[in-house]
Amino acid sequence: MNQETLKRMYTKDHEWISDSQGLVYVGISSHAISELGDIVHIELPQVGDNFKAGESFGTVESTKTVSDIYMPGDGKVVDINSSMQENPEAIQEDPYQKGWLIKIELKDRIKSDLLNHEDYHTYIGKS
């Protein structure tokens, strides 16, 4: 397990978060991506948008379904990964480095049910 994996936390809705210098990157877990199938479209919010923990901030459309993406904490969007909107299938190649979706500035509250790498894999039934 590499250092980046150790810093990453997961929601039970299959988003991942990673803190970097006070800003939080948010993406979708590789497990969720594999369950979705081929990704054909990703809709993301605008920079400056504010969301509460648990609110949908975007959608991922695959050949199978359209799924909401949920905010892991109260925060303001400070950056979006526009390359994921332009080339959505690229998220399947590298969901944890190049495949981040938004960068947020957290406010006071983050979801309390975040899981570490090991607990997330137990939750999804993988070891």
- The predicted-structure confidence for 25-78, as pLDDT tens digits, reads as follows 999 999 999 999 899 999 999 999 999 989 999 999 999 899 999 998 889 999
Position 5 pLDDT exceeds 60: no
In angstroms, rounded to a whole number, what is the distance separating the alpha carbons of residues 84 and 33?
13
Provide the domain limits for residue 12.
3-123
pLDDT in tens, 9-21: 999 999 999 887 7
Which pLDDT belongs to residue 114? 87
pLDDT in tens, 54-69: 999 999 999 989 999 9
Indicate if the alpha-carbon torsion angle 82, 4, 122, 31 is positive or negative. positive
The CATH number for 64's domain is: 2.40.50.100
Question: Is residue 72 a contact partner of residue 81, using CB atoms and an 8 Å limit?
Answer: no
Work out how many domains the chain is built from and give that number. 1
| Alpha-helical segments (H) within 1-127 | 3-7, 30-36, 82-86, 117-123
